[in-house]
Amino acid sequence: MSDPVVVCEGLTHVYLRGTPFESVALRGVDLVVRRGECLGLVGPTGSGKSTLVQHFNGLLRPTEGRVWVDGVEIRPGTALVREVRRKVGLLFQYPEHQLFEATVFDDVAFGPRNLGLDPEEVQERVRESLQWVGLDPDRFGPRSPFSLSGGEMRRVAIAGVLAMRPQVLVLDEPTAGLDPEGRREILSRVRELHRKARLTVVLISHSMDDVARLCQRVVVLHRGQVFLDAPVREAFAQADRLRSIGLDVPRATDVLLRLKAAGLPVRCDRLTVEEVCEEIVRVLQGNQRWSSSEA
């Protein structure tokens, strides 16, 4: 469960080096993604999250530092990089903008066909991937991707990455710009992929609620550096630190923080609505017992 899949060591990335537009996106980032975990990657806009994950599959090369994927160091060498791209599936922000084929089936088949698989294997992978994202292959396969709703298009794009059968799935704000229904659908699919298909998931998100619900560990980036790297409960227990860089804690946790500030002896390392309800009930009942024994 715990061997590393992606390792970054002293990773520094400078954009447009040697021009008047030079900017440092990452400074000496050390990071380990462990096999089978779901890692939340959060940070204010411009903190380097997207730059970081593009190193995971060789789309960007480190200016300094080193990156290993599945025990192999990524170096500029085409064969190796292609192998890495197969292992790490990367879904960009607004991935529905990358759809281009005439039918959903062909679009999802783009990846497997690039791998040079035979038609039966391609067909099988497309059907499987569409099912993983909750789209019926027979109904959606022949349709044009441009006729779908935003949430459906995004699920097709995710299926397109899944069809590569990656070991690691990196999602860059997969729920941005979707309605609540679309968000729920995507998140529950991702959770299923993580739990049932045993995918390692790296989730970039601005929604602390989503991170709290899905992830076991959180890495916070700030100005290109690792600001915090901790299990999800420990991370969100540091509300003040997170707020100091413009981030927040899950809304449910916020309720507990306010109750505590109002004098209720609640513990604040609860993250989901259910946990928070239990905690409030526990404390209230404890109080009742206390007051009744007093009487």
Partner 1 sequence: MELLRSLTIGQYVPRASPVHRLDPRTKILATTVLVVVVFLVRDFRGLGVFAAFLAAAVALSQVPAGFALRGLRPIWFLLLLTLVLQVFFGGSSGGTVLWRLGPFAATREGLVQGLFVTARLVLLVVSTSLLTFTTSPVELADGMERLLNPFRRLGVPAHELAMMMTIALRFIPTLVEETEKIMKAQMARGADLDTGGPLRRARALVPILVPLFVSAFRRADELAVAMEARGYRGGEGRTRMKQLRYRAQDLWAGLVVLGASALVLWSGRI
**Which residues sit at the interface with partner 1, rule CB under 8 A?**
15-16, 19-21, 54, 57, 59-60, 78, 82, 85-86, 89-92, 95, 97-100, 110-111, 114-115, 146, 160-161, 164
Q: How far is the CB of 140 from partner 1 (least distance, A)?
A: 18
> Whose Cβ is closer to partner 1: residue 31's or residue 169's?
169
d(CA 132, CA 134): 5
Q: How far is the CB of 100 from partner 1 (least distance, A)?
A: 4
**Counting beta carbons within 10 angstroms of the beta carbon of residue 214, is it exposed (0 to 12), middle (13 to 18) or buried (19 or more)?**
buried
Q: How far is the CB of 125 from partner 1 (least distance, A)?
A: 12
> Whose Cβ is closer to partner 1: residue 96's or residue 275's?
96
> Whose Cβ is closer to partner 1: residue 38's or residue 168's?
168
Q: How far is the CB of 289 from partner 1 (least distance, A)?
A: 57
What would the two tokens of residue 6 be? 């992606």
d(CA 47, CA 223): 5
Residues 6+ apart with CB under 8 A from 109: 101, 122, 123, 125, 126, 163
Q: How far is the CB of 271 from partner 1 (least distance, A)?
A: 31
- Give kind and range of the element (H or E) at residue 32: strand 23-34
Q: How many residues does the chain have?
A: 295
> Whose Cβ is closer to partner 1: residue 115's or residue 257's?
115
Inter-CA distances, 84 with 49, 57, 71, 178, Å:
19, 6, 11, 30
> Whose Cβ is closer to partner 1: residue 53's or residue 242's?
53
